[in-house]
Chains A and B, each alone.
Chain A
Amino acid sequence: MSGLPDPRIPAGPIADAWQRTKEGLPLISPLRKGQIDVLVVGTGLAGASAAATLAQQGYRVTVLSFHDSPRRAHSVAAQGGINAARSVAVDGDSVSRLFTDTLKGGDFRARESGCQRLAEISSGIIDQCVAQGVPFAREYGGSLATRSFGGALVSRTFYARGQTGQQLLYGAYQALMRQVELGRVRLLTRRDVLELITVDGVARGVVARHLLSGALEVHTARTVLLCTGGYSNVYFLSTNALKSNASAIWRAHRKGALFANPCFTQIHPTCIPSGDAFQSKLTLMSESLRNDGRIWLPLETGDQRSAENIPEQERDYFLERLYPSYGNMAPRDVASRRARELCNAGRGVGPGGRSVYLDLTDAIKTEGREAIAARYGNLMTMYERISGDDPYRKPMRIYPAPHYTMGGLWVDYQLMSSIPGLFVLGEANYSEHGANRLGASALMQGLADGYFIAPSTVTAWLAGNAAPDVTPDHPACREALESTRRRIETMLASGGTTPVDSFHRELGAVMIDRCGISRDAEGLRDGLSQVEALEKRFHGEVRVPGEAAGPNAELEKALRVSDFFGLAQLMLRDALAREESCGAHFREEHQSPEGEARRDDVNFAHIAAWEHQDGAEPIRHSETLQFTALQPSTRSYR
């Protein structure tokens, strides 16, 4: 492969460009669809919605999930809500405002055509979910309720208490199970996808390991959709589920799919801080809490008094002070950076001074405990379980944690990667969020991709690219299977004594320190050499007990972590090459005297797309971003 494929951005004005594109896409008759196999990997919002929709259109869909049930996919954990421009409240929201907020929130590092399409589709997603029976919060009169989220001045976030992701996922899951019952979807659970199969440069299947029998299987199709989520677990401690991994997208990258802006990773400001060395994950406290919660630190460095003993005038509500118009609703990257700076300056509270207060006391006083419980009940309980403190009586302690990855496989406007026939949906792709995703936009994007975009564009690809069937005895399939088998054998034969988690923990410590909220060239170079050394040690010193046959959780982990090493290096390289500060990517060298990010539109108004090379350094391509509807402005929330 050479260079960057055409991103297929529609010509003409961006408003209604998607409608025009869709109307021009070729179709396939429903009868013929029944003879075409489609492979969907992953059953989160993007995967389940795409699989259900494609099956309903008539395709023969095979769905692979590494969970025991599609309902476990990590979309289930999304808390706060889903954005949609519906102008329900009289606050002046519109498609164009959601477009503007998304593009500006992403610090002008996304395609404006994609942001526009997302804003146009958003309203229909809510209708779709309501029809499925998703129990959104309602006003007394029966209409859909909304709340506001960071980076927005309007109330456009639809929600189901603090369990919106769960409810949207169950809607998509139930639609998927209906297609299973109708015989249109073959659901294969407990399969870990370990390799992509290409024939003549076109994606035609995957190699998967059955997580109970250990058998390696080949699954072939006319097209492959990767809907496998993000890679925050590179950092070891993150808000992601423990099994969330990057293997499918990383293996596809090694087979030729370009990886876009891997360094754009979001560190979410409001998470329960880490404590014990054996802590296995960080838990998010939804951004929606910032609607009613105020973030503060004691004014004095080293103030040891407990929160309730610090009088009002000795508190620093630092987001309200620094960002008077957005206040506590400043976007995630800004809020995280400020919290970290103050903690580094010794102002932090809690063990090791690594947290700030998120205080709901004022809201509880004015609205009452019951009103707050109705809005955030499950979050309050979760906080109490984990921390042992009662958030109704004491302010919560929070700290930023890796949460979402904007970076992902490069896709064109039609969600196809640089490997023809390989589509990438949801968090796994690089698309509308640019350098920073706004709260409640991930659910919107995952479902837009799955319910509305991919069903049209996948059909268009299939209509124009007839190809003979590929069977598992095709040389390309046998070779992919063999190389995966060898990889597993090598892993099991490694004669070391150290468990996988220990390496993963070390990798995470390097990455959060060198490639986290704040980055600089020296640190990134040091990080790169540390990760290279760690990868070498891993392959010599790791112990993977057990055999290839049967359940083997340690082998699963070892395969995942071995892929994280390569991805971590690419993240560091990308962060090093991007000599500017934008969105979640903050380079110490590029900031204003007030400590705000300094973007460089002359040299970096582009998507960096990395090409893998065996045994050599990856090549950085760039796709220039054009802005016609909205000119890049300094992203200021003050």
Chain B
Amino acid sequence: MKITLRIWRQPAADQPGRYERHGLADVSPDVSLLEALDQLNEQLISAGQRPVSFEHDCREGICGSCGFLVNGQAHGPRRATSVCQLYLREFEDGAELTLEPWRAKAFPAIQDLMVDRSAFDRLIAAGGYCSTGTGQAPDGNALPVGRDQATSAFSTATCIGCGACVASCRNASASLFVAAKLAHLGQLPQGQPERASRARAMQDQMAAEGFGSCSSNLECEAVCPQEISADWISWMHRERRG
């Protein structure tokens, strides 16, 4: 099939960017969008031009490295899918795809489709853990965790830290990211001792990093590759008050 990629090119954060159009005349519908970018980059390199920079690694939807907007949608049109799992068979022959980086104050631009998401690490460092040492721990069966409770905690713990929720939010809020971590630990007995202080510390850090607040547009839930529910954001707000 044939596709055209309209890609945001920006050499560095302090330099202006612009869109660049590149066509792929003969590409298999069974390659992923990232593999189409690989193919484009081989062409650019052979032609002596600078290849397109984009983050990627595992290419199976779990490391959270990749992510950009495809035609205005974080990770593209398919639900519950990160961009590495988006295959060209999803698009019509001859389609034009506009690829842009995440845009948020807390995610400074680096180059082309790459942005700096280290703010997420600082959110976790602010309190996204159980303060337990390593070495000797009590028997894991000593604290029973019901199956439904474990399943629910797991469903929030699956967040891959890609940043799509921030990129899709009109306020560039990290509420879903933070709520998911608070809900993961807050639903388990191990997370109880620090539950309140964790909720305060992570939400304070979110504001300090320049993320906005939630105005319930639910775009975050719609683009989340792990389908984490935005209901946890309301849960988080109750945590704060409690």
Contact = CB atoms under 8 A, between A and B. Distances in A.
Interface of A: 49, 52-53, 56, 67-72, 74, 76-77, 88, 124, 126-133, 135-144, 160-161, 163, 166-167, 170, 173-175, 177-178, 180-181, 187, 189, 212, 241-243, 275-276, 278-281, 283-284, 374, 381-382, 385-386, 388, 451-452, 455, 497-499, 501-502, 543, 545-546, 550-551, 553-554
B124 to A, nearest CB: 5
A634 B135 CA distance: 37
B145 to A, nearest CB: 5
Nearest first, the 3 A-B pairs at minimum CB distance are: A142-B144, A130-B140, A174-B129
Nearest to A179: B125
Contacts of B144: 138, 141-143
Interface string B7-46: 0000010000000000000011011101110110110011
A69 B107 CA distance: 13
Contact of A74 (B39, B63, B145): B63
Contacts of B12: 550
A30 to B, nearest CB: 13
B146 A74 contact: no
B38 A551 contact: no
A545 B55 CA distance: 18
B38 A72 contact: no
A138 B144 CA distance: 8
Interface of chain B, main secondary structure: loop
B184 A133 contact: yes
Contact of B35 (A67, A137, A170, A280): A280
B60 A553 contact: no
B137 A128 contact: yes
Contacts of A166: 62, 158, 160
Scoring B48, B125, B126 by chain A CB atoms within 10 A of each residue's CB, the highest score goes to B125
B121 A70 contact: yes
Interface residues of B, number: 81
10 contacts: A69-B64, A72-B65, A77-B58, A131-B140, A132-B129, A276-B30, A278-B27, A374-B151, A381-B80, A388-B30
B111 A56 contact: no
Interface of B: 12, 27-28, 30-32, 34-36, 38-39, 41-42, 45-46, 48-51, 53, 55-65, 78, 80-81, 85, 87, 89, 110-111, 114, 116-118, 120-121, 124-126, 128-141, 143-147, 149-151, 153-154, 157-158, 160-161, 184-185, 188, 190-191
Contacts of B46: 497-499, 543
Contacts of A135: 145, 150, 153-154, 157, 184, 188
Contact of A177 (B39, B121, B139): B121
Contact of B145 (A142, A187, A189, A284): A142
A69 B122 CA distance: 10
Contacts of B56: 242
Contact of A133 (B121, B161, B185): B185
